[in-house]
A and B are shown apart, each in its own frame.
Chain A
Amino acid sequence: MFRRSEQDKRPQVQIFVDGVAVAARQGDTVSAALLASGRDARRSTAVSGAPRLPYCMMGVCFDCLVTIDGVGNRQGCLVPVAEGMQIEIQKGKREIGK
């Protein structure tokens, strides 16, 4: 859906998406890194289980909700990637304790 422009010279950052290593760039948000990865990053909603991807990328729609380093319901579009970050695509509602 998206690809990186060649002029992007930012250093790589390795994150893990559902345990799989993914190359992101320093300064990417989690959502941008997921959309750039080409992986299926669709979450599913808490109400009906419908698949969703980020819609607004600016912190207002909450369709980018994702589990980051064990914490669920994080807005992926507001969180920058960090080396070794563990991301889980959130299926359904946040689990208690996550």
Chain B
Amino acid sequence: MTVAPKREDYDVVVIGAGPAGLAAAATSAEAGLSTLLLDENIGPGGQVFRAIASTPVTDRNQLGADYWIGADLVQSLRASNAEVIQRATVWSLDRNLDIAVSIGGASAFVKAKRVILATGALERPFPIPGWTLPGVMTAGAAQTMLKSSALVPDGRTVIAGQGPLLWLLAAQILRLGGRIDRILDTTERGNYFAALPHAFAFLTSPYFAKGLSMMREVKAKVQVVSGVTELSASGDGQLASVSYVAGGKRETIPADLLLLHQGVVPNVNLAMAAGIEHRWDDLQLCWSPVLDASGNSSVAGIAIAGDGAGIGGANAAVVRGRIAARAAVEALAPASAAKLPAMATLRADLAKAERGRLFLDTLFRPARQFRIPSGDTIVCRCEEVTAKDVLDSVAIGATGPNQLKAYRRTGMGPCQGRLCGLTVTELMAQARGKTPQEIGYYRLRAPVKPITLAELAAVPKSEADVKAVVRG
């Protein structure tokens, strides 16, 4: 059932119960700090450990050993004194570390001495023609259904894109008896050469052997087409076919389900709304927060851990969570820090977990044609704005994403730019001959998730609050 926070003030509030948030909350609570963990989902785990406490997939080999690491994290959390609230949507966080959270249709307010943001990542927009058609989903969406409801694709299924998650998902679908007709690999050939200088670190990381065996497992059962370009989906109100070019030849295949994936990017909405400084990352092609070695952001008292701090993967996320929590303990209760692993040990763990990342980032850097669409391809799914619409607006004077809102309402729908923001920035940067950093991003504000006016109106008010807005 929905339960409001027990207190109004906490030493540490952690937002997000994925790898980083689980580790951070357990560490902070173990050290004796009053700790609240708020998470939007039904159960803990975030995306990587989705449904870890409830999955109907009981054969442990099917989801893989890396998934079940999450069960230990949840166990540590539950053994600690951390207060955990699921289905709690944080819609505001500000510089005073005041947090507004919606739980069961009512908003509660808590104040923290330290906040650890662990809001993770989301899949990079994949704006190809037809990507809004019913039947086109993200690979992550299919993986969410697989983990939480043991659902597998059973129609004609095509997976397209690139990156480690794509191969993991394909292997998991096959292990659960699902159907995959074809995998379309969009990795650019040039990326293999660019990644070569970073190969040694990757070859000596645990990711290499795991990745290789997973790709072998999938390739033994599914036709894989590499060097795919000009990908598109079509159909009348429902996906009917997928078209692409490979080896100089166009091919069109019938499909009921197309799963897209070209990596993940930090979910920046809450962090940006709190006023945290972000910079454009030219390698990962996304906005990443400016952080110190302990994850502290430009706003005093707010740290960011996990993929929201820049994509590093689940293992790195866990360590970053522990580092951010240890830093909070050092600041609030220095005597208790002795109970925790030393910072030097944690930093060494992080370096180990991040080994090989540069190689993966370079190899799986998504191609320009799949990031910057043209013509009638939809950029903003909510407001149904096309690439041409954006370029037309630039031609008559729109200078950046915020001006574009006034022209076209891009980013003003319910998703608040999550599915179009990166595309808009890069599209406008290209059109105006500027860098993404110069073009900037949407100015994000609370509420970062939609809440009803009724919920807002029901918020407790002081006499002074009422006086400030009521006349006479």
Binding site for B on A (CB under 8 A): 1-10, 25, 27-29, 32, 35-36, 42, 45, 47-48, 50-63, 65, 73, 77-78, 80
User: In the complex, are the beta carbons of A1 and B40 less than 8 A apart?
Assistant: no
Q: Which residue of A lies closest to B156 (CB)?
A: A1
User: In the complex, are the beta carbons of B137 and A55 less than 8 A apart?
Assistant: yes
Distance in Å from the Cβ of B340 to the closest Cβ of chain A?
A: 31
Distance in Å from the Cβ of A82 to the closest Cβ of chain B?
A: 11
Question: Whole-angstrom distance between the alpha carbons of A54 and B144 in the complex?
Answer: 12
Q: Which 8 A-B pairs have the closest CB atoms?
A: A57-B141, A53-B134, A62-B414, A5-B150, A8-B150, A3-B154, A8-B56, A57-B144
Question: Whole-angstrom distance between the alpha carbons of A61 and B125 in the complex?
Answer: 10
Cross-chain contact of B145 among A9, A32, A50 (Cβ < 8 A)? A32
Supply 18 further A-B pairs (C-beta < 8 A) apart from A5-B150, A42-B237.
Answer: A2-B153, A7-B150, A27-B54, A27-B56, A28-B148, A36-B149, A36-B151, A42-B238, A51-B237, A53-B135, A55-B138, A57-B137, A58-B140, A61-B419, A63-B132, A77-B144, A78-B42, A80-B42
Distance in Å from the Cβ of A83 to the closest Cβ of chain B?
A: 15
Interface size on B, residues (CB 8 A): 51
Residue numbers in A under 8 Å from B134 (CB-CB): 42, 51-53
User: In the complex, are the beta carbons of B154 and A55 less than 8 A apart?
Assistant: no
Residue numbers in A under 8 Å from B178 (CB-CB): 3, 5
Residue numbers in B under 8 Å from A47 (CB-CB): 382-384
Question: Which chain B residues numbered 401 to 419 have a C-beta less than 8 Å away from chain A?
Answer: 413-415, 418-419
User: In the complex, are the beta carbons of A25 and B149 less than 8 A apart?
Assistant: yes
Distance in Å from the Cβ of A55 to the closest Cβ of chain B?
A: 5
* Max chain B C-beta neighbours (<10 A), residue from A2, A50, A56, A63: A2
Main secondary structure of the interface of A (DSSP, over half): loop
Question: Whole-angstrom distance between the alpha carbons of A29 and B141 in the complex?
Answer: 12
User: In the complex, are the beta carbons of B415 and A35 less than 8 A apart?
Assistant: no
User: In the complex, are the beta carbons of B151 and A5 less than 8 A apart?
Assistant: yes
Residue numbers in A under 8 Å from B132 (CB-CB): 50, 52, 55, 63
Q: Which residue of B lies closest to A48 (CB)?
A: B384
User: In the complex, are the beta carbons of A1 and B51 less than 8 A apart?
Assistant: no
User: In the complex, are the beta carbons of A78 and B122 less than 8 A apart?
Assistant: no
Question: Whole-angstrom distance between the alpha carbons of A3 and B144 in the complex?
Answer: 14
Distance in Å from the Cβ of B56 to the closest Cβ of chain A?
A: 4
6 contacts between A and B (CB under 8 A): A1-B135, A5-B177, A8-B56, A25-B56, A53-B134, A55-B136
Question: Whole-angstrom distance between the alpha carbons of A51 and B136 in the complex?
Answer: 12
Question: Whole-angstrom distance between the alpha carbons of A48 and B380 in the complex?
Answer: 13
